[in-house]
Structure 1
Amino acid sequence: MARPIKRLQAEPGVVAELRRRSRASTSTVRERDRADMILLRLDGVSVTEAAVRLKSTAKRVSTWSKRFEEHGLDGLEDEPGRGRKPSASKVQRVVTEVTRPPKG
């Protein structure tokens, strides 16, 4: 016997925001993908089926579903610390520019 599908739940306002993110031209591809994953899961689609429909992996769908369950919409944001770090702080860059001899 197969395990029952764990269905996500959300308030109507949250669902509306997910739909907006899914359709917005200003949303990044990541934001749209995550919103689509959660919308499918809210409709009762299994993790595996959502992954197939979105050409993703079950692990990825499961990860974002869990983060949404735990943190709501905030859980769909990238965690801080991602990406390349600046080589110099803003203060260091300002000091460098101010102490540099004038051109000319």
Structure 2
Amino acid sequence: MSLDEIWLREPEIQNLEVQAIYNEMYSKIPWVMQYLEGCSNTELDFENWMKRDYLFADSVLKDATKLGYSTLVVDGERTIDENLDIIEEVFKVKCRSCLPKTA
């Protein structure tokens, strides 16, 4: 896999449990609710926004696959460390030394 052969994608949000987690995490970003303040139906608009993001990610994945690129779908099937191993291999870097230490 080379540098130009990696595409990252958000979790598969058709899975209702994952969708709920994705929506909860995204809704905690301060500017998201500020952005939706001017909308007449913030709940529906937020839901539509999340669906649009999923459909965009899905179309990028399909295009990348059609063009013959390798893809990395981040959907919870691999651990963060496993995903990081793939990214380090593709970019030929070691990222772990740059990450903050966790307790």
Normalising by the smaller structure, the TM-score range is under 0.3
Provide the TM-score with structure 2 as the length reference.
0.26
**Quick one: higher RCO (CA 8 Å, sep 6+), 1 or 2?**
2
Larger Rg: 1
Provide the TM-score with structure 1 as the length reference.
0.26
